[in-house]
Amino acid sequence: MRGFIISIFFTLVSISANAQAFYRFRFEEPWSVALHLGPTQYFGDLYSLWKYNEGVQPDFNVAFSGRYTFGTNLKARADFTYYQISGQDHPADPRSGRIPRGLNFRARNWETALLAEYYLKPVKVYNITREFFNPYIFAGVGVSTNNPQARYRDRWVDLRPLRTENEAYPGVVMVFPMGLGIKYKVNVYMDFFIEGNYRFTLTDHLDDVSAFNMSGFYEELIADYVSGENPDRLRLSVRQTRYLLENGEPNVELIRSSRGAPRRGSGDPRENEPNAKYDGYFSLNFGAEIYFAQDIWDNWIFRHRGRGWRFW
């Protein structure tokens, strides 16, 4: 009889332990954070449209995100991103109409954005019952710093203060991110994901290039060059070899006689249409998302007592 009672006791303890283990992971945690990174591709006057054969010219980005589940299939998201974009004349597809202008740029910017995500399958569920694969789309609004630089005589020069096209543009611009992704459930606390994110903007100055040529402002740039007040304005605006002297300085007389013919903007006539010249950039990111939980510091992601090791 005693043995039977002991057996019943241990059976009940086992059932209770299993039930507690199940309910331990039966939580609905709305908050999560993610770290993701990947390549970034710029699109603008120094990189043609997708149809041209110019190859991929990627840079990089690193991002941190916070998410909050507020609907059956919906999450709110805040992004903080550091990214680099760049472009240059070479290599240009002849069909794009881009002639060699000697122009180049690099920009290292910070971006912050607020977005909404819609998932194909429900996300407002217990974490233990999350789908293993869950595609999603997202869109939002944000701001980005805007600080293009050009490589000139072995140094990077900030272009925005120079007003190379005699036009001031802001150092902070609006961005409109949108894209799609897919998540894979690793365990109750973590997802891996991959997503593509294109940022539309309302500026044509991510690359400091907007005007088709210099005809509307060459006289002001020449005046600053001749007076010595700010010679870099003309130096960084005119990079076409035919308009330079042998020492690399701008040929002022030729620029004057041509009435500002040196080219800057794209030769593609479609990019001269209203609203068609706005610059943008795309990122393809890979990352991990971690869901908060009351016992997250004791789960196997951070320590594993059963095998005799731990992270601290």
Structural tokens at position 74: 């919906």
Least confident range from 12-16, 73-77, 141-145, 153-157: namely: 12-16
pLDDT recorded at residue 7: 54
Averaged pLDDT, 99-110: 92
Q: Are 34 and 289 in contact (CB under 8 A)?
A: yes
What percent of the chain has pLDDT above 70?
78
Average pLDDT over the chain reads 85
Q: Which residue type sits at 178? A: M
- The predicted model gives 280-300 an average pLDDT of 82
Task: Tell me how far apart the alpha carbons of residues 58 and 38 are, in angstroms, rounded to a whole number.
Answer: 9
First to last CA, the chain: 47
For the chain, state the CA radius of gyration: 28
For residue 129, name the pLDDT band (cuts at 50, 70, 90). confident
Question: Does the pLDDT value for residue 37 go beyond 90?
Answer: yes
The whole-number pLDDT of residue 24 equals 52
Provide φ and ψ at 226, rounded to 5°: -65, -40
Q: Which two tokens stand for residue 212?
A: 């088709």
In angstroms, the CA 120 to CA 123 distance is 9
Q: Is 80 exceeded by the pLDDT of residue 18?
A: no
Mean pLDDT of 242-250: 95
* Least confident window among 32-36, 232-236, 274-278: 274-278
pLDDT band at 297 (very low <50, low <70, confident <90, very high): low
Cα–Cα dist 237/214, whole Å: 8
HEC assignment per residue over the chain: CHHHHHHHHHHHHHHHHHHHHHHHCCCCCCEEEEEEEECEEEEECCECCCCCCCCCCCCEEEEEEEEEECCCCEEEEEEEEEEEEEEECCCCCHHHCCCCCCCEEEEEEEEEEEEEEEECCCCCCCHHHCCCEEEEEEEEEEEEECCEEEECCCCEEECHHHCCCCCCCCCEEEEEEEEEEEEEEEECCEEEEEEEEEEEECCCCCCCCCCCECCCCHHHHHHHHHHCCCCHHHHHHCCCHHHECCCCCECHHHHHHCCCCCECCCCCHHHHCCCCCCCEEEEEEEEEEEECCCCHHHCCCCEEHHHCEECC
Residue 237 has pLDDT above 50, yes or no: yes
Region 61-79: mean pLDDT is 97
CA separation for the pair 257, 58 (Å, rounded): 39
Domains along the chain? 30-205+278-299 (2.40.160.20)
Average pLDDT of the residues in 123-128: 88
Alpha-carbon distance of 246 to 201, in angstroms, equals 39
82 touches 57 (CB < 8 A): no
The pLDDT assigned to 49 comes to: 61
